[in-house]
Structure 1
Amino acid sequence: MDVTGLALRAAAVRPHVLLVTLPGGTAARLEAERLVRLRDWPPAVTPAGADLLLVLGPDRPDLRAAVDRLWRDFPGPRARVHAPGAADVEAALEAGRARLANPARQRGRLGEPDADAPDGGEGGEGGPPARAPSGGAGDEGASGVHGRRGHEDGARQPDAAGRHGAGRGDSGMSHSAAEESRNHHDGDADGDGDVHGDAGHLGHGGHGEHGGHGEHGGHGEHGAHGSHGSHGSSHGSHGGHAGHGGHAGHGSGDMANPGGLPMAGQAEDRDGLTLDRLHVPLGPFLDSWPAGLTIRLALQGDVVQEAEAEAEVEEPARPGTAAREAFWVQPWLRAAAGEPVSAGEAARRRAASHLDSLVRLLSVAGWPAEAVAAGRLRDDLLSGAPGDAVTPRLKRFARRVGRSRTLAWLTHGIGRLNTADARAAGVSGPAARAGGDVTDRYRQWLADVRRDVGRLEEPSPLRPAVDDSPRGRWRDDRPPSAALVALLPGLLTGSELAAARLVVASLDPDLDELTAARSGVAARG
């Protein structure tokens, strides 16, 4: 009796799917989330809990290494597929399930953590990669995207027991810490003992009680992070700081540190206290995170001392693709190009975009039930549901979320931005109109969604120069998300690490807008 084959086929009935969205992959992500929910396949937020890695969006060579590190964290049995566009998603899911259930494919990689690398490297099978029937979905070959995301996002519903939740991240490193860090460490230690991490190690993070530094390459328990929940990146396990060549010990002579992992250095914080100083990147892949965004933080204790935002933007490979990949602003870009677009169509896309932003924020805040409700409303709007069919459920959703005392308490006072400062920084749209903290911004989204759902049948033409896109108004080829990205370092500096994820989620910049602007697409009218 083939017990292994039987177990594989049973596991492939409802595989746990980890979605990785590349810039330009918004349409594919939305389709994947819809199909995974309809199939009742459990979504995964960490490699350790996933069976199937689904990479979504057009190939990005500059991000292959980050996804490659993510892939190596997957335990077996496992499968990886790639869906460049929304039309490829269903075929990719079927191809992934078939590979999971194939004993011949899985037996050859038991004990070979990297044996599924389709380029034949690192224990790969070699040969041309298999593709899904559509021709667009399947394992990535030499031109595909591969990788690993190393950290978990513990999710739990907000409660009064802890201000920022209490989910614990868990990385589950498959190699020894020293070997892993020597192979994949691309940070360095500067003269003052700062320890630099690897952006690829921060995928799908949860701050996991913020004791989550406990296994972070020998950085100690960092108990100062106590109980700050699921809003960031758990730094557990990834001993990405090992090795450091001849820098081992950071001034301790030749004395080796436990496991070959250097301790964090120390520096004075803004209050004159001497605390550990860590350089921690968030992104480019995190659960409920803007695709392609990386924020590099300098931390002392659990307080962000410095922040730098990096947007992974590149010129589109083919002319004309940028506008198609900028999913949320397509009506405005089409209207600017002279196509007839109704205000009702724009209102539908804008309402769906705000609901998508609410999905991210509620997921980060640890309220998965309402995140699912927001996702269903979003998908109904995108599928063309009439306003009368959506309005009753939307009212109930807006009442539950908007009046939630726990959610308001969780987000109160975080990321304050008054309207005058927002306008001065070039911010428009909901972030400027809200004029307050995270609580004010998600309530503004709720109000805007209810207003737009009442305008779904409006026949008047869209005026791109007057009607705001989901994140604001375009000015001189400068998309509104550019101002939101530029604003993030100032809002994050001085905040707690656990609150950083909430701040980002409450602004939710869309990096696809930056790609469209770089390719010369502007919304004027």
Structure 2
Amino acid sequence: MLVLEVPGWGETRMRVEAELARRGWTSATSPADADVLLVCGEPGEELESARARLWSQLPGPRVRTAVNTASDVASTLDRAMDDLLDDVRQHSDARTRSRQPAKPRDETAHTEHAAPGDSIESTEHDVDMNMDMDMDMDMPMPGGIPLASGGPDRDGLEMDVLHVPLGPVLPHWPAGLVVRCVLQGDVIVSAQAEILPAAQPSGDGLVPDNSHRTTDDERRRAVIRRSDAAASVLALAGWSFAAGRARRIRDAVASGTALLDVAADLDKLAQSVGRSWTLRWTLKGITVGDTLAQAENGMGQSGSETVRGRLIGWLDEARRTARDDKAEGAYELQDPLALQRSLLSAIPRLLNGTDIATARLIIAALAIETAPVTQTPQSHMSDKT
């Protein structure tokens, strides 16, 4: 099953992942691996174009469906399975579908997929890229695939120049985020980032809304966000076992398990991550600069300037939050819109000079909240989320 998350529907996407794990189903990392395309939320025009492109790439038998609320996940998956086993429906789809791949309306319709390694020992990140390149050449394109153009390199040689959009659908990638990269060889030399919006500014329970929220709700939401962010970094680093532990903690909290009951599991995970020399080596030298130190309301401690530091900081904060039933109003963002803009504007500088695998780790470490947010009244806040 390939999941397309629309900004604002993070809770639904997490519920889908939890239900897939409960059933023993697997999440696909590319259209070629999928038989079901599941959209979480209501995509806007540009995301709808990406959805159409993905759908055209799914081999048969195939099913596409959508879910807008976390409570409907189980029934939606049941219907998808019934449709997948419906021979009449599948034969009809096979007869009517186009034999030619759908042509994207623009480069945002292209979607890349990179599967994390199967173990932490693996530092290779396989990337299946659909690349849309603008070239001033009049020459045949083999199979309709544009060739790379040339460009000067720093050492005076000419290097291939590729225009590669990352997103909006990638495993362990912020919902709706598109980063348009220019590559020379395997190095990113420039990048531009934007968020493709939902059809309307609505979503599920993870859209920031401070009304009618108790302290316990804030604590739970904080632990869920940190565990989910940690799972993404761990998966991209190749440590699938630890990523699975983080997701199980996240799902337990989301299902109503007492926070104190998951505190011990958070302790064990934090200790394993902090002691792992292989992880230290895998993430060595990958930083997010001073971006988060300058963002007063970033999700994590301002001193955590490396990807590894951010990861350890999230887990430490999650286990402290799970045990803290006294603090009030210290768990969530006060100005999420300003933080979102700050992180998006920092992406070009942070990705310059990196390869795609490193860039994806940096994006995961930023933990950009892409859900629709509105400007909130300014207020001072000592703790960070």
TM-score normalised according to structure 2 size: 0.88
Residue in 1 aligned with 2:60? 76
Residue matched to 1:414 = 286
Q: Which residue of 2 aligns with 1:297?
A: 181
Q: Does 1:386 align with 2:280?
A: no
Instruction: Specify the alignment match of 2:147 in structure 1.
Output: 263
Give distance in 2, aligned partners of 1:105 and 1:288: 32
CA contact (8 A) 2:112 2:128 kept: no
Equivalent positions of 1:25-174 (< 5 A) are: 25-110=9-94, 112=96, 114=97
2:350 corresponds to 1:491: yes
Q: Does 2:339 correspond to 1:480? A: yes
| Distance in 2 between residues matched to 1:401 and 1:509, nearest whole Å | 22
Residue matched to 2:108: 199
Alignment-derived partner of residue 103 in structure 2: 184
Q: Deviations over 1:334-375 (max 9, x none)?
A: 2xxxx4632x43222111110000111122222222211111
Q: 1:109 to 1:506 in 2, by over 3 A?
A: same
SS in 1 for 2:161: strand
Q: Secondary structure at the match of 1:205?
A: strand
Q: 2:214 aligns with which of 314, 336, 341?
A: 341
For the Cα contact (< 8 Å) 2:150–2:159, is it kept in 1? Answer: yes
User: Which structure's CA Rg is the greater one?
Assistant: 1
Kept after mapping to 2: 8 A contact 1:207/1:498: no
Q: CA deviation at 1:407?
A: 1.4
Look up the equivalent residue of 2:367 and give its one-letter code: D
- State the secondary structure of the residue aligned to 2:16: helix
Report deviation, 1:388.
3.4
3-state DSSP class of the match of 1:357? helix
CA distance in 2, matches of 1:53, 1:289: 17
Alignment counterpart, residue 516 of structure 1, candidates 334, 354, 373: 373
Cα 1:504–1:100 shift into 2, 3 Å: same
Question: Per-residue deviation at 1:272?
Answer: 3.0
C-alpha distance in 1, partners of 2:197/2:250? 26
| Matches of 2:161 and 2:150, distance apart in 1 | 5
**Structure 2 residue 159 is the aligned partner of structure 1 residue 286:** no
Q: 2-side partners of 1:110 and 1:489: how far apart?
A: 43
Q: How far apart are 1:64 and its partner, in Å?
A: 0.8
Q: Which residue matches 1:195? A: none
> 1:445 offset after TM fit, Å?
0.9
Identity of aligned residues (%): 31
Q: 1:98 to 1:262 in 2, by over 3 A?
A: closer
Shift of 1:269: 2.5
Q: Does 1:327 align with 2:206?
A: yes
Alignment equivalent of 2:270, drawn from 388, 391, 398: 398
- Preserved CA contact (<8 Å) 2:49 2:104: no
The answer to whether the 8 A contact 2:337-2:373 is kept is no
Change (3 A) 1:314 1:69: closer
In the alignment, which residue of structure 1 is the partner of 2:308? 439
Q: Structure 2 regions of 5+ residues with no counterpart?
A: 381-385
Q: CA RMSD in A?
A: 2.8
- Displacement after TM superposition at 1:18 (Å): 1.6
Checking the alignment, whether the CA contact within 8 Å between 1:355 and 1:375 is kept in structure 2 is yes
Structure 2 CA distance for aligned equivalents of residues 479 and 372 of structure 1: 32
- 2:248 maps to amino acid: R
Select 1:229's aligned residue among 97, 116, 124: 124
Q: Secondary structure at the match of 2:357?
A: helix
- Aligned-partner residue type, residue 202 of structure 1: T
Quick check: 1:283–1:294 contact (8 Å CA) kept in 2? yes
1:110 counterpart SS class: helix
Pick from 208, 230, 233: which aligns with 1:358? Answer: 230
Are residues 87 and 201 of structure 1, via their aligned partners in 2, closer, same or farther at CA, if it must alter by over 3 Å?
same
Pair 1:453-2:315 in alignment: no
1:270 to 1:370, Cα distance in 2 relative to 1, 3 A: same
1:119 match:
none
- Are the equivalent residues in 2 in contact too, given 1:326–1:516 (CA < 8 A)? no
1:489 Cα deviation after fit: 1.4
SS of structure 2 residue aligned to 1:280: strand
What is residue 383 of structure 2 aligned with on the other side? Answer: none
User: 2:264, 2:22 → 1: CA distance?
Assistant: 22
Q: CA deviation at 1:239?
A: 7.2
User: Residue type matched to 1:43 in 2?
Assistant: S
* 1:371 aligned partner, one-letter code: A
* C-alpha deviation, 1:295, in angstroms: 0.5
Letter in 1 for 2:317: D
Q: Which structure features the higher share of strand residues?
A: 2
Matched residue SS, 2:94: coil
Secondary structure at 2:37 match in 1: strand
- Cα distance between partner residues in 1 of 2:22 and 2:378: 35
Distance (Å, rounded) in 1 between the aligned partners of 2:303 and 2:85: 50
CA contact (8 A) 2:160 2:184 kept: yes
How many angstroms apart in 2 are the aligned matches of 1:184 and 1:207?
A: 28
Alpha-carbon distance change, 423 to 100 in structure 1, aligned in 2, over 3 angstroms:
same
Distance 2:222 2:92 in 1: 48
Relative contact order (alpha carbons < 8 A, sep ≥ 6): 1 or 2 greater? 2
Q: Structure 1 length normalisation: TM-score?
A: 0.66
What is the aligned length? 376
Q: Provide Cα deviations, 1:113-154, integer angstroms capped at 9, x if missing partner.
A: x3xxxxxxx6xxxxxxxxxxxxxxxxxxxxxxxxxxxxxxxx
Answer yes or no: is 1:368 the counterpart of 2:240.
Answer: yes
User: Deviation at 1:504?
Assistant: 0.4
Post-superposition offset of 1:290: 0.3
Q: 1:272 to 1:111 in 2, by over 3 A?
A: farther
